[in-house]
Amino acid sequence: MTALLNRQIVLARRPAGVPVPGDFRIVESTVPDIQDGEVLIRHAYLGLAPAARLRMSETRSYRDPLALGDVVYGQGCGVVVQSRKPGFEEGDAVMSISGGWQDYSVSKGAGLDRIDTAVAPPTVWLGALGTSGMTAWIGLLQIGRARPGDTVVVSAASGGVGSVVGQIAKLKGCRAVGIAGGEAKVRHVVDDLGFDACVDYRAPGFADALQRACPGGIDVYFENVGGAVRDAVWPLMNTQGRIVVCGLIAEYNDGQLAGPGWFQILAKRLELRGFIMSDHASLRPEFVAEMGAWYAAGKITVKEDISHGLEAVVPAFIGMLQGRNFGKTIVAL
């Protein structure tokens, strides 16, 4: 094969805040010969994703950071031009989850899928049928457990993930409400994508408008942005609602991701779930049986802070709120 020229976009400098063109550099190199078990792909399209920004910072997010000089991480869709890997042949249309921002990529097969362009054009395999769509589908149905009749709110509603979230929500019998920036996006989300409503987070009175769009509150919030948008969602959440922490694009540039905050939930796939004990009253016999046995066997240590007399109730209560109790606060009458 004659030598092929590969143009690659590499990280030249770590962005400070919002990336600028000078953070990147285009380099040219010859496409290497592939080895056994490898596939050479010529990219026809690259799918850009906000998460690429995370890898440009020095601190580890949920993926390792890029080194300076690395090709920027991203998805690529194209055609196999050479294959030494069983299952892939020259001419196959493929999608590579880690093709990178370059003309050609070499893959050992991880995250490389053949795509059927009779089903949908390659660009759709980077979007609704690619990682964006699958993110929406998993997030809404597996993590958010959306059910018919639920009100589903999604931020970045006109984007790759958000646009699919709302459409799946509709297909599953939910009420879909989008949040997007600007009038044109808001109109598109309702008129073209078929959401029930969409609210412009940049317009004055956003929080009130969101409330009007969700008269029955919110059962599932699909979080794509974070920041001020999320603040307006909180008070509208219904009891036992679910928040799917998918992305926090409003925070990716602020350099604070390693600290306390929502990014820890996202990156570590944390589960946060409130509960009220009395909702589980039916479990009391099971609890008493288990705890009673532990107590009887001396496996549970108790410490009690006992005051005496009715007059002691108020001071004991106030003291408890200030940490002056030591153990379970009890008043003996």
Ligand X SMILES: NC(=O)c1ccc[n+]([C@@H]2O[C@H](COP(=O)([O-])OP(=O)(O)OC[C@H]3O[C@@H](n4cnc5c(N)ncnc54)[C@H](OP(=O)(O)O)[C@@H]3O)[C@@H](O)[C@H]2O)c1
Select the residue interacting with ligand X from 105, 135, 151, 167 (CB under 6 A).
Answer: 135
Give 100 or 181: the residue with its C-beta nearer to ligand X.
181
Query: Whole-angstrom distance between the N-terminal and C-terminal Cα of the chain?
Result: 94
- Which among 29-37, 78-86, 180-188, 280-288 is the span making contact with ligand X, rule CB under 6 A? 180-188
Of 71, 81, 11, 84, give the one whose Cα is nearest residue 43.
Answer: 81
Say whether residue 51 binds ligand X (CB under 6 A).
yes
Cα-based angle 42, 47, 52 (whole degrees, multiple of 5): 115
DSSP secondary structure code for residue 71 in this structure = B
Of 139, 134, 133, 218, give the one whose Cα is nearest residue 179.
Answer: 218
Select the residue interacting with ligand X from 9, 38, 50, 217 (CB under 6 A).
Answer: 50
Could you tell me the smallest distance in angstroms from the CB atom of residue 76 to ligand X? 15
- Which among 16-24, 33-41, 225-233, 312-320 is the span making contact with ligand X, rule CB under 6 A? 225-233
Say whether residue 83 binds ligand X (CB under 6 A).
no
Give bridge partners of residue 175 from the DSSP assignment.
151
Give 159 or 166: the residue with its C-beta nearer to ligand X.
159
Select the residue interacting with ligand X from 95, 176, 249, 316 (CB under 6 A).
Answer: 249
State the alpha helices, DSSP H only, in 109-182. Answer: 122-126, 131-137, 160-171
Cβ atoms of residues 122 and 46 within 8 Å: no
Instruction: Measure Cα distances from 90 to 33, 52, 81, 82, 125 in Å.
Output: 15, 29, 5, 5, 19
Say whether residue 167 binds ligand X (CB under 6 A).
no
Give 71 or 225: the residue with its C-beta nearer to ligand X.
225
Q: What is the DSSP string of 275-292?
A: --GGGGGGGHHHHHHHHH
Give 74 or 85: the residue with its C-beta nearer to ligand X.
74
Cβ atoms of residues 222 and 145 within 8 Å: no
Say whether residue 52 binds ligand X (CB under 6 A).
no
Cβ atoms of residues 177 and 213 within 8 Å: yes
Give 50 or 319: the residue with its C-beta nearer to ligand X.
50
Give 85 or 185: the residue with its C-beta nearer to ligand X.
185
Could you tell me the smallest distance in angstroms from the CB atom of residue 230 to ligand X? 9
Give 94 or 245: the residue with its C-beta nearer to ligand X.
245
Select the residue interacting with ligand X from 185, 188, 230, 242 (CB under 6 A).
Answer: 185
Say whether residue 190 binds ligand X (CB under 6 A).
no
Could you tell me the smallest distance in angstroms from the CB atom of residue 158 to ligand X? 6
Burial class (CB in 10 A: 0-12, 13-18, 19+), 293: exposed
3-class SS at 257? coil
Select the residue interacting with ligand X from 6, 132, 151, 167 (CB under 6 A).
Answer: 132
Distance in angstroms (rounded) separating the CA atoms of residues 161 and 131 = 8
Say whether residue 143 binds ligand X (CB under 6 A).
no
Residue 177 structure tokens: 């409400």
Give 43 or 230: the residue with its C-beta nearer to ligand X.
230
Select the residue interacting with ligand X from 49, 129, 174, 213 (CB under 6 A).
Answer: 49
Binding site for ligand X (CB under 6 A): 49-51, 131-132, 135, 156, 158-162, 180-181, 185, 224-225, 227, 229, 246-250
